[in-house]
Amino acid sequence: TYVFLGDGCMMEGVSHEACSLAGTLGLGKLIAFYDDNGISIDGHVEGWFTDDTPKRFEAYGWHVIRAVDGHDAAAIKAAIEAAKAETKKPTLIITKTTIGFGSPNKQGSHDCHGSPLGLEEVALVRKTLGWEYEPFVVPADVYEGWDAKAKGAAAEQSWNDKFIAYKSAHPELAAEFDRRVIKGDLPADFAAKAEAFIAESQAKGEKIASRKASQNSIAAFVPLLPELLGGSADLAGSNLTLVKTSKGITAEDASGNYLYYGVREFGMSAIMNGISAHGGFIPYGATFLMFQQYAANAVRMSALMKLRNIFVYTHDSIGQGEDGPTHQPIEVLGSLRMTPNLDTWRPADAAEAAASWKAAIERKTGPTALVFSRQNLDHIARTGAQVADISRGGYILVDSVGEPEAILIATGSEVGVTVKAAEALKAKGRSVRVVSMPSTSVFDRQDAAYKESVLPISVGARVAVETAHVDYWYKYVGFDGRVVGMTTFGESAPGPALLEHFGFTVDNIVSTVEELLED
């Protein structure tokens, strides 16, 4: 695996996270080129970057090859061969280069970092380099030297021939390689076994935290899927991502299925991107939901690149209590949901947690964020049809006789209290519906008829309930609707006290609905 780094990359904190872990794990097949030209956008880096980079990487446990002439192909090739010879450590090849090489007036300066040279300077570069050809004219010998079609076709044919021989000698392993790496398919019986586990989770009726329900799902699915590669950013005991079949990956033994990432949320998320892009694995990595913001760029890139990642986030609300507002996410759910091509699930109980894991594993076209609670959640009664409809992202959980006067929409830990509020409203003679919406993006992709059946346009009185910022929910309740949610940061107090303080109670939800109907 080859990686290219610049001065800016070395300044970014994520380079420390990833390179430190690479050294610890002894990734001998990792070769990184550092383009050491001493320039960043603002100018010469001496004013803001004076690290001794070789010593830094040696301290990580890397093999460092210093001062390679980055303009000398033979020197670079020799460095690559030396790097390949080192199999116990990753290698950093430090190539000394001149930015804008050949430009008489701009080389070695930030003037050519992100700006065109200009026609006059380009003409001077041609003269300096002895390049006599017109723009877009490539000499035949140069073209042939860089034309990789024939070499690529030969390499592909060689690989195909080797795989045919491998398939003959090891048919079962070859079939597994074809399924996991080439096609990215799941085992043929996975869907049926996953649905059986969802039904079992519903039947058990356990009152557990959704993070515990997530762990139960991992325990059920890991034995079925050798491609599941887990991990946590030093929070395995809190995220509950370790199961009996988890085996840690170390420098001495890479046969495991679990990476201890250490306190490296950003690095973890970026590393997952690399693993997913490589293929053959479905990575899942966990941290607290609040810490997602530190890793947000990597999660965004995962969505942009349509990578098959599963981001697991626990401790999802003010319900976690005493850790206080620094650890209580208010704005994060909205940010996740507004990220294109990222499916976000916030399950209400064990059955929804199992269904969300199934959806995340089966999804090939992008990443999924699974958001779980710290506190125990009530079990929700459902029919078989309702269990099946969890996969649609939003569904009718409690319905009225005839068209409802009002619709209550809730997610995650707030579904239970919303159902109780609906019961109280019905006892007062009100006709209400409760919609559980664990994944808004999945619900939004349903056909118009289904969405109309769940949220009929004729019912304008709508209330959303979630321990997150209120703004996101107005797309579902309308400007005339109400949201029982958060508009401030949380506080440090026991979780139940905070939920009551911020209005996540039966009484407040009931009064909110009644006021809306009276208006």
Which stretches of 62-170 are assigned E, i.e. beta strand? Answer: 63-69, 91-96
Token representation of residue 9: 């990359």
- Torsion-angle region of 142 (φ positive above 0: left; ψ -120 to 50: alpha; else: beta): alpha
- Phi-psi sector, 299: left (phi>0), alpha (psi -120 to 50), beta: alpha
Active site residue 362: no
DSSP state of 134: P
| CB-side neighbour CA atoms (13 Å) of 172 | 0
- Evaluate whether 92 touches 63 at the Cβ level (below 8 Å): yes
**What residues pair up with 283 in beta bridges, in sequence order?**
229
β partners of residue 95 = 35, 68
- Edge-first strand listing for the sheet containing 282-288: 258-260, 228-232, 282-288, 310-314, 368-371, 343-345
| Token pair 């401790």: residue | 315
Residue with tokens 């001062």: 67
Q: Are strands 395-398 and 432-436 parallel, antiparallel or unpaired?
A: antiparallel
Q: Which residues have C-beta within 8 Å of that of residue 284, sequence separation ≥ 6? A: 218, 228, 229, 230, 231, 241, 272, 309, 310, 311, 312, 360
Quote the CA–CA distance of 231 and 216 in Å, as a whole number.
Answer: 16
Choice among 17, 121, 265, 466 that is catalytic: 265
For residue 493, give the amino acid letter.
Answer: A
Task: Tell me if 356 sits within 8 A of 210, measured CB to CB.
Answer: no
Q: What are phi and psi of 29, to 5 degrees?
A: -95, 5
Spatial separation of the C-alpha atoms in residues 162 and 168, rounded to whole Å: 10
* Catalytic machinery residues: 265
